[in-house]
Structure 1
Amino acid sequence: MIIGYARVSTQDQNTALQLDALNASGCEQIFHEHITGKHRERPELLQCMRTLRSGDVLVVWKLDRLARSLKDLVEIIDELQKRGIGFKSLTESIDTTNSTGKLIFHIFGALAEFEHSLIVERTKAGLAAARARGKKGGRKPALSDSDIKKAAAMLSDPMITKAEVSKHFKVSRTTLNAALNRNGFKI
């Protein structure tokens, strides 16, 4: 079975061009998404993926109608291949039901992996450079050093509980305990 998938890219976009191309390519069923790609939840795509069976072919007008990123695209096509489902993109002339289309898609996969490696490498380099300039990464501590000293002083009074101290500083008991332990206060 040949199944099509169409999706708008903006709220005011018309999918008539996509639908015409999918119908002309012989699609027996078309799933039509009215949600833009920025939304993670795409119910029509989920239904389309559930409908596809081994031997079927998923057809899209253009690659960017199916996925929001290269990584997303590679994951979707990989899932289709594992399930024995072919894929065609009309605009880019990609057809994974033949060897040339499979080769092109493997190149896309390699590019996505390369892109991911570059991002990881740049992130690590940026963090190292920030550390070298004395910047400290991560979230700001919930309690300052003076707050921790005040909390320890408050807890030295047996009439004051950790629950009261954590409520006073607007933190959880777990956060209070961790801060006290990290600064050498054993209370």
Structure 2
Amino acid sequence: MGELLGYARVSTTDQSADAQSEALSAAGCSRVWTETASGATTSRPQLSDLFSHLRRGDTLVVWRLDRLGRSLPHLLETVEQLDVDGVGFRSLTEAIDTTTSGGKLIYSIFGALAEFERNLIRERTNLGLAVARAQGRLGGRPPAMSGTQIKQAKRMRTGGMSLTDIREVLGVSRSTLYRHLK
């Protein structure tokens, strides 16, 4: 059997990871990596260092699920990669342990719920877009220049006005003006 390696994370410097570290040590972790970083942050050097120390048969232990993943899909992706690498995963608060049959079941249920949530979001988004199209609305960013402004810019250019002056009158950038005068 491999080692238990812990990871503790707090979001701000005002918070302390001491309680997490103590719980991880009490759970049998031989070493605990601690980090101060927002969960949404993709760059977490201590977590990367921990991953470089994990070996087949080891188990990554966290105090709570949200300490590891930025979101449920990210968490599931991370735990899936650990499984591929032959590394177990354990969350103390939620009592999930992927090295056991029950823990694998719970993890699978989380995966199914995340997929269900993604499908619901996709369905709602597509429905909203269909309703908007039926009402004549198109998505996306509004054009930088209206049709009237484009005609006005072409008339000004034909009349001999400089591009700089046209830009200033219409209040658009040079690239926008060039794009519409082609």
Q: TM-score, normalised by structure 2?
A: 0.83
Is the 1:151–1:165 Cα contact (8 Å) retained in structure 2?
no
Hey, what's the Cα distance between the residues in 2 that align with 1:151 and 1:49? 58
Is the 1:142–1:171 Cα contact (8 Å) retained in structure 2?
no
Matches within 5 A, 1:15-164: 15-156=17-158
Is the 2:167–2:177 Cα contact (8 Å) retained in structure 1?
no
Is the 2:39–2:69 Cα contact (8 Å) retained in structure 1?
yes
Hey, what's the Cα distance between the residues in 1 that align with 2:71 and 2:87? 21
Q: Which amino acid aligns with 1:146?
A: T
% same residue: 49
Larger displacement relative to structure 2 (109-118 or 11-20) = 11-20
Judging changes above 3 Å, is the alpha-carbon distance between structure 1 residues 178 and 128 closer, same or farther for their aligned structure 2 residues?
farther
Q: What is the CA RMSD across the aligned residues, in angstroms?
A: 2.4
Q: How big is the shift at 1:103?
A: 2.0
Hey, what's the Cα distance between the residues in 1 that align with 2:85 and 2:165? 57
Hey, what's the Cα distance between the residues in 1 that align with 2:161 and 2:57? 70
**Number of positions where the alignment pairs a residue of Structure 1 with one of Structure 2:** 178
Deviations 1:104-154 (Å, cap 9, x if unpaired)? 211111111111111111112122222333333211111121221123234
The DSSP-based 3-state class of the residue aligned with 2:8 is: strand
Q: Which amino acid aligns with 2:73?
A: K
Q: TM-score, normalised by structure 1?
A: 0.81
Q: Which amino acid aligns with 1:100?
A: G
Judging changes above 3 Å, is the alpha-carbon distance between structure 1 residues 164 and 9 closer, same or farther for their aligned structure 2 residues?
closer
Hey, what's the Cα distance between the residues in 2 that align with 1:13 and 1:59? 20
Hey, what's the Cα distance between the residues in 2 that align with 1:78 and 1:140? 41
Q: Which amino acid aligns with 2:46?
A: E
Q: How big is the shift at 1:30?
A: 0.9
